[in-house]
Amino acid sequence: MRRRLGIGILCALLLVGGTAFGKENDFQLWTELKLSHSFGKSPWTLYWATENRFDQNATNYFTFNTTIGFDYKILKWLRSGLFYRFEKVDGKPRENRIIPQFDAVHVFGAVELSTRQRFEIRIFPDQTRFRYRSRYRVGFPIKTSPVSFKPYLSDELFFEPGFGGFDQNRFAVGNSFGFLKDKISFDLYYMLKSTEQSGTAGTPGRMCGAICRTALGNRD
């Protein structure tokens, strides 16, 4: 039953993702590499990530960011973390972010429910802004060998006081491929993003993303 459900979601992902290439003007490609390292049975884990984004139908390089930080396992299902990110968007001032966040995950039978609550202190050359991001994800883990699968759906809301309030939403459908007992994973997703700035109407955008994650060391 779990495998049939996962195959069904994968088929839906392929159908939805295929429509992205038929759209015009706003297709983007986001690529990201992540590394993590835990210390045996320690509850601490270190992280590093770098991301590159392309817009104009994936032909124009416009965003670079890199992130470093750590998290701590409070409970089996709850982790807290603190991260630093540097980001530069073409034509915009550089940005430094301080990011405290909480991640929670629980498995109910064949379904994995998770949430990430993130608070961002956004430091620009001429101002400091605050943003809250709330993401919820439903995944369907399929443990197979040598490759495991986890189709998922996620939705994330952005709230930035004084700069549009609830000004962005990201809905994504994707799949995580796991290798070597999930120590190495490769994510592919398709995202629909809507934004609203300075009181203007929401602007929809579509993007395809690829995330390669490599975990160094054991992680419970």
> What percentage of the chain has pLDDT greater than the value 90?
63
Identify residue 186 by its one-letter amino acid code: F
Question: Could you tell me whether strands 27-38 and 111-123 are parallel, antiparallel, or unpaired per DSSP bridges?
Answer: unpaired
CATH number of 2-216: 2.40.160
Q: What is the DSSP letter of 201?
A: P
Q: Please, are residues 74 and 80 in contact by the beta-carbon 8 Å criterion?
A: yes
C-alpha to C-alpha distance for 74 and 72, rounded to whole angstroms: 6
Q: Please, are residues 97 and 73 in contact by the beta-carbon 8 Å criterion?
A: no
| Domain boundaries defined on the chain | 2-216
Six-digit token string for 50: 């770098």
Reported as a single tens digit per residue, the pLDDT across 89-139 is 999 999 999 999 999 999 999 999 999 999 999 999 999 999 999 999 999
Reported as a single tens digit per residue, the pLDDT across 50-66 is 999 998 888 899 999 99
Q: How much is the pLDDT for 214?
A: 62
DSSP 3-state of 144:
coil
- DSSP per-residue letters across 33-99: EEEEEE-TT-SEEEEEEEEEEEETTTTEEEEEEEEEEEEEEEETTEEEEEEEEEEEETTS--EEEEE
Position 19 pLDDT exceeds 50: no
